[in-house]
């Protein structure tokens, strides 16, 4: 056991995997990934910039949107080096400590994104169901507290998983199935009983993304109930339109996440590329699509971006 611990703590190396069976085409395959990364970085960067610089966007809804863009950027940064390193330079090696750190940050930003989506759902619930108290409930100080609570929640829940992962001995194949370190993938390579790690990982997912999704669903039930009580169809359409962006963001986050969990736990017979596609979609689609959804569907964001990119037209 001591030799296993020595290997784990110092010299253990994992080998990441690109797209199984298509290694010779990695350079070509990297093109759509580069496009997704470019879209994610530029889109979320623009969203953050317009929210910071435009005083008209200094409202709770846009503060939460800036938090969403920050977590999206965090997800992209967490995987950028390893993913493009494989596709461009066939750099497959990653040290054990770097792998543990990557699993922690990927999970942390995933949990934070789920928490931010719940905060946005709460924001929409207050704005629609109790608009008279909106300004008194979502004050600047409470939004700051929400930010810290989201960060602390993710850290407290996920840090034990990282510490337990560092205690596992590894004596089997060190080849991972993704282009980044994914917690369920890493623990499967352990030569000891990993049941505690697996159960705690699943529990962490349930008490974060699982609980968040339930409350998001309940908030929208109450929102729909409130909107349907409005007599005017025009007003109903106007209110529903304010939620379209958020429902789109929820869909593109939870659908790939749930699909990846099912493929990992129940798709043992699925072809290797299915795991790869779902794993990459889970991390890259939400950061790339969220800025597009919010810039197109949110008029205030759309106008602010247009004002910055085309100042002359805005003046006219």
Helices 244-266 and 272-297 pack at an angle, to 10 degrees, of 170
Q: What is the pLDDT of residues 7-50, one digit of tens each?
A: 545 578 999 988 877 778 888 888 999 999 999 999 999 999 99
Question: How far is 194 from 191, CA to CA, in rounded Å?
Answer: 8
- CA-nearest of 111, 77, 315, 90 to 204 is 111
Q: Which of 122-126, 141-145, 165-169 has the lowest mean pLDDT?
A: 165-169
Q: What is the CATH number of domain 35-71+99-163+192-315?
A: 1.20.1070.10
Q: How many CB atoms lie within 10 A of CB 200?
A: 18
**Residue in the block written with tokens 């003046």:** 315
Question: How far is 69 from 213, CA to CA, in rounded Å?
Answer: 19
- CA-nearest of 72, 74, 43, 68 to 123 is 68
Q: What is the DSSP letter of 132?
A: G
Given its phi and psi angles, is residue 173 left (phi above 0), alpha (psi -120 to 50 degrees) or beta?
A: beta
* pLDDT grade for 314, boundaries at 50, 70 and 90: low
Radius of gyration of the chain (CA): 21
Q: How many CB atoms lie within 10 A of CB 228?
A: 8
Q: Name the 3-class secondary structure at 93.
A: strand
Q: Which sequence spans correspond to the domains of the chain?
A: 35-71+99-163+192-315
Q: What is the pLDDT of residues 244-289, one digit of tens each?
A: 888 989 999 998 888 777 776 666 666 766 777 778 878 899 999 9
Give the predicted TM-score (pTM) of the model.
0.90
Dihedral sign for Cα 296, 302, 305, 309, please.
positive
Q: How many CB atoms lie within 10 A of CB 106?
A: 21
Helices 96-129 and 140-166 pack at an angle, to 10 degrees, of 150
What pLDDT score was predicted for residue 90? 86
């Amino acid at each position: 056991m001591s030799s296993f611990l020595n290997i784990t703590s110092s010299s253990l190396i994992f080998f990441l995997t690109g797209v199984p069976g298509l290694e010779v085409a990695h350079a070509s395959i990297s093109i759509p990934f580069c496009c997704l990364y470019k879209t994610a970085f530029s889109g979320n960067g623009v969203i953050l910039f317009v929210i910071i610089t435009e005083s008209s966007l200094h409202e709770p809804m846009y503060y939460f949107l800036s938090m969403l863009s920050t977590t999206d950027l965090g997800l992209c940064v967490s995987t950028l080096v390893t993913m493009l390193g494989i596709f461009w330079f066939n750099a497959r090696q990653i040290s054990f400590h770097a792998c543990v750190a990557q699993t922690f940050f990927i999970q942390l930003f995933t949990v934070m994104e789920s928490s931010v989506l719940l905060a946005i759902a709460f924001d929409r619930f207050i704005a629609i169901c109790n608009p008279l108290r909106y300004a008194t409930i979502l004050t600047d100080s409470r939004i700051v507290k929400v930010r810290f609570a989201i960060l602390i929640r993710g850290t407290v829940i996920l840090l034990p998983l990282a510490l337990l992962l560092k205690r596992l001995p590894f004596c089997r194949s060190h080849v991972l199935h993704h282009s980044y370190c994914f917690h369920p993938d890493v623990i499967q390579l352990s030569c000891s009983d990993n049941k505690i790690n697996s159960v705690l990982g699943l529990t962490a997912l349930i008490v974060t993304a699982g609980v968040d999704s339930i409350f998001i669903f309940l908030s929208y039930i109450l929102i729909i109930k409130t909107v349907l009580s409005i007599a005017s169809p025009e007003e109903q359409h106007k209110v529903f339109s304010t939620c379209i962006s958020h429902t789109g963001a929820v869909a593109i986050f939870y659908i790939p996440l749930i699909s990846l969990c099912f493929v990992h736990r129940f798709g043992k017979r699925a072809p290797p590329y299915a795991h790869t596609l779902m794993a990459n979609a889970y991390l890259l689609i939400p950061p790339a699509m969220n800025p597009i959804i919010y810039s197109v569907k949110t008029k205030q964001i759309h106008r602010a971006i247009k004002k910055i990119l085309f100042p002359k037209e805005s003046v006219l």
